[in-house]
Structure 1
């Protein structure tokens, strides 16, 4: 793509408004910025779109939203009149331009005679998944950049099963997007006309109520201490109303919300990087927790599909749980409760991603529940759940991944922090009746099953050069990975790009059952393992490291040795 030529086209085409052109004129002397904005188009894939908000083909703006929605519309039209009538549900979060982008998408759909169901105001991402299934729409759209910084926004597409699209849907949508030669080919209709023709319907409270009732139906115990003191922060996102509503209606009496982070704020003024996986996001919650004596702190990310927690220890300090630990606690609570009530199915299954730790799997094995692995991303976890629903071979109980995403039940096909907030608070309240904190429960689990330790490192490499270097890192590591780390040997590795597993002890290779992706996974002879992959949505290469030791110290020492070897090798690639 000749980025200067495309830049000039945007400046000279009457399709683009004056504000956009003025923004672009402001970078006319910055060749590097022009290149970054126009050297490619934002790539649509199974993760949808995500990028910085600005004018340009490699940015999030109303024109890119309209073009992508036209491509989606063209694909839906090929599915026939019934699909067009079923329509598309649309939700959005608290970010800059989210409401405008959502309405743009709705009107492009309507202009293509596809009915759009648009939420009246911001809603959590999992409620969109629920809505697709509830209204039986052919598709769904969420405008969100999840936990990314304020400069970002995104566009995620769901299909009729309520899960994010997989490649068999994403690929033809992408083809339709790429076939749009001009922005002038995008169809338009006014909001007034769309409503008059019944092609745009605004939705809200009725769906909210049904969703809340469904979440509450997942409750497992009522003999719990509902006076447990919990501090909650929605991090200025969409979780405030639904999470508090569910907890209140479940009878919790001591939910204290961080006032500075209660209401929507697209600038995330109090937190900057609104990712609850980063313990710095808990600063306000910690301060409030200490002042009120909270036993647990919970935080949801801006689109309320991810949950993180901190638990007070015996010294009055708060200890952060990572996604593997929180997932393990939820698995233990759910399986233990179902087992106690005689509700544990004989064909029960949990699903985790390939880069998620094995503590949850060990707990599941204890209860006779099988664990399945998928590629990263809840589209893959819920895609597996959809398989179970069709075949009936297994009964889905719980899905999770290390990046603090969890779901239970069968009415949402994405990670859901409203569901997981309720179950986590319920677990804490139940174990409190046994005079245990969640930290006590976690430590008891380690003592019983082994000290599973983990660490995620992300090397951030932005821009064109960063993307190219990430590619080189993956290429070099494929052929030059360390065969030995400390005293441990690599006994098996999986290269999902070619879909093969290699047994280095037996000297055999076999086909992997997991779909192809740019992921490398290495298993060591001491039950440690690690995986390397580029992020699908951010300018990062990610390294997931896992160890298992007889003691906490042994597990931590293994991680340090792994980190030194792996990061050293990656950083040597220039």
Structure 2
């Protein structure tokens, strides 16, 4: 089977000469097996993979096939579904423009209208555009913060959120129904334009989106009056954020913004950073050098598709301290809820949403404002689904959502994490605290810790690729389930939640409860008094991830306790 697939791709003239030549040069049987033993997995709303020829790689033929699956689903919605169409955006990665155009023209071949952004745009603007244009679906070509060798394809549905499980399963079924790769051809571009099946969009969507972003400011007058007093260094990390982040900050009143020149322009090689990921401290090196030179208050960094935001804050000694995703999320949530409460604009049914991988500190802060907290599975699509549920059922009014991996959202006109919105609101919070009391965001998080307890978080990932990697991850999760932890690193475990088997158990009482979140291969061990350890195989990368969160009443000893907990868990993993 593998050899047949390989032979088809290496010899059939449907595949272009470059693809056939690349495959004919392959000598390693293991590499051939890995490229053809399976199809690149369509999961958590899309797919992501290494750029190369083959069924288990990211290339234009895989883009065509997935798009055809989406087109087959849209066909079930009849002519109205075809006319509503699909909006498509892309970032600065290798082949992103080409893949976006392939998708648009495959849709056109199926008589489906495609709205294609004229140049690269952030993922959150794509989410907005789906809602603004009332399309049935959206596509964004991006691999987010992954290394330059990767690209990906994410599907959004009509509410602007990543495609929900039911629709994702229907798309997957359509993809799997079609074994034949050879009949999927894009329509010629001039013909697609002539039939008005390809419509180019851009500036008009930018204006509408930025107008909505402007409505989220809590103290717009303060921003316009004093925004120049906050000095910001911004880097788009060679990605899609540069235009909209700058415009959004400027319209809010923040004009003292310096953009890192070496990282300002799109660059698919991400030349100045090893990984274009604002979670990694070294990503801030260039921006930090400019911040030191200029005495900036704040450094902001968006990832290539500008849905994530990293933040570093000037400390009292003049150095720059990077906030974790949890810290930035808690600061933003505290600012939004606190200011709205003070102004009398916090709704009675106010609600915030966070993922189960994010800090328990957020739950404590929200409860102090008498605001409902919803915890969802890891992945921003689940936050967007919960926002939609609130609106449909009327039980809550969404104020803020975040995940620990640098994703934040306020407002409901976007249904995914949004680095542009986060940049404006964090700048506003930094300005507010600077003007009112001369405090920094570091002072704010310290005040929160003093009141609720000190939290420290960390992560550890293992990359396990290919067939063997999947088997290894399954063995690790099975082993952890078999251990029934009563304590980890000397800290008592109060509760275990197994989201695969969908039960939760409290050790002290033996009480077992049914978990209502969707089934997912996740284990979460909650400590008595706060904090947790969580294990989950990633849905988008060949990795198994471990999340650590430790709480103490005082800062002293936090690092040592975290280290003990990590060593205990990782020793169990090594047993496998």
- TM-score relative to the length of structure 2: 0.98
- The aligned residue for residue 491 of structure 2 is 488
> What SS does the corresponding residue of 1:232 show, helix, strand or coil?
strand
Within the candidate set 138, 146, 149, 1:148 is matched to 146
Q: Which segments of structure 1 move beyond 6 Å, counting only runs of 4 or more? A: none
Partner residue, 1:560: 563
Question: Residue 465 of structure 2 corresponds to which residue in structure 1?
Answer: 462
Q: Who is 2:222 aligned against?
A: 223
What are the within-5 Å matches in structure 2 for residues 329-348 of structure 1?
A: 329-348=331-350
Say yes or no: does 1:45 pair with 2:47. Answer: no
Distance 1:487 1:144 in 2: 42
Alignment partner for residue 249 of structure 2, among 243, 247, 250?
Answer: 247
Indicate conservation of the 8 Å contact 1:93/1:124, yes or no: yes
Secondary structure in 1 matching 2:332: helix
**Contact map agreement 2:461 2:546 (CA 8 A) in 1:** yes
Aligned pairs for 1:100-115 (under 5 A) are: 100-115=98-113
Kindly state the Cα deviation for residue 485 of structure 1 after the two structures are TM-superposed: 2.0
Q: Provide the residue aligned with 1:95 in structure 2.
A: 93
Partner of 1:65: 63
Which residue in 1 is equivalent to 2:303? 301
In the aligned structure 2, how far is the partner of 1:451 from the partner of 1:383?
31
- The CA distance in 1 between the partners of 2:385 and 2:185, in whole Å, is 32
Cross-structure match for 1:22: 21
RMSD: 1.1
What secondary structure does 1:231 align onto? strand
1:320 correspondence with 2:322: yes
Which of residues 274, 277, 281 in structure 1 aligns to 2:276? 274
Instruction: Between 339-348 and 476-485, report the one with greater CA deviation.
Output: 476-485
Task: Give a deviation string over 1:361-382, Cα, whole Å, max 9, x none.
Answer: 2221111111101111111001
Deviates more, 1:89-98 or 1:353-362: 353-362
Which residue of the partner structure matches residue 239 of structure 2?
237
Deviates more, 1:214-223 or 1:322-331: 214-223
> Equivalent residues in 2 for 1:336-375 (5 A)?
336-375=338-377
How many pairs align? 571
Q: Residue 423 of structure 2 aligns to a residue in which SS? A: helix
| Structural mapping, 1:445-524, within 5 Å | 445-524=448-527
Gaps of 5+ in 2: none
Bigger mean CA deviation after superposition, 132-141 or 506-515: 506-515
Shift of 1:218: 0.5
Residues in 1 aligned to 2:259 and 2:489: alpha-carbon distance in whole angstroms: 46
Q: How far 1:185 moved relative to its partner?
A: 2.7
Q: Distance in 1 between matches of 2:497 and 2:194?
A: 55
- Correspondence for 2:32 among 23, 31, 34: 34
Following the alignment from structure 2 to structure 1, what is the Cα–Cα distance between the partners of residues 382 and 531? 24
Q: How far does the alpha carbon of each residue in 1:243-284 deviate from its partner, in whole angstroms, 9 at most, with x for none?
A: 000111111121111110001000000012000001110010
Give distance in 1, aligned partners of 2:222 and 2:114: 43
Structure 1 contact 353–401 (Cα < 8 Å) conserved = yes
Would the aligned equivalents of 1:298 and 1:307 in 2 still touch at CA under 8 Å? yes
Matched, 1:131 2:133: no
The corresponding residue for 1:543 is: 546
SS of 1:505 mapped into structure 2: coil
Query: 1:508 Cα shift?
Result: 2.6
Cα deviation code 1:198-237 (max 9, x no counterpart): 1110001001100011111111113254121111110000
CA distance in structure 2 between the partners assigned to 1:422 and 1:266 by the alignment: 26
CA displacement at 1:488 relative to structure 2 = 2.4
2:171 to 170, 173, 181: 173
Determine if contact 1:47/1:537 at 8 Å carries over to the other structure: no
Matching residue of 1:532: 535
Residue 483 of structure 1: how far off its partner (Å): 2.4
Structure 1 CA distance for aligned equivalents of residues 180 and 4 of structure 2: 14
Cα offset for 1:481? 4.5
Q: C-alpha distance in 1, partners of 2:186/2:249?
A: 43
Please identify, of 434-443 and 220-229, the stretch whose mean Cα deviation from structure 2 is larger.
220-229
Residues of 1 paired with 2:368 and 2:512: CA distance? 31
User: How many Å apart are 1:187 and its aligned residue?
Assistant: 4.3
Corresponding residue of 1:208: 206
Q: 1:46 aligns to what SS in structure 2?
A: coil
Map of 1:6 onto structure 2: 5
- SS of residue in 1 equivalent to 2:233: strand
Give ranges in structure 1 of 5+ residues lacking alignment: none
- Larger deviation, residues 552-561 vs 40-49: 552-561
1:112-138 CA-to-partner distances (Å, cap 9, x unmatched) read 011000000000000000000000000
Distance in 2 between residues matched to 1:393 and 1:81, nearest whole Å: 35
1: CA distance between counterparts of 2:529 and 2:344?
A: 36
Distance of 2:194 and 2:45 partners within structure 1: 33
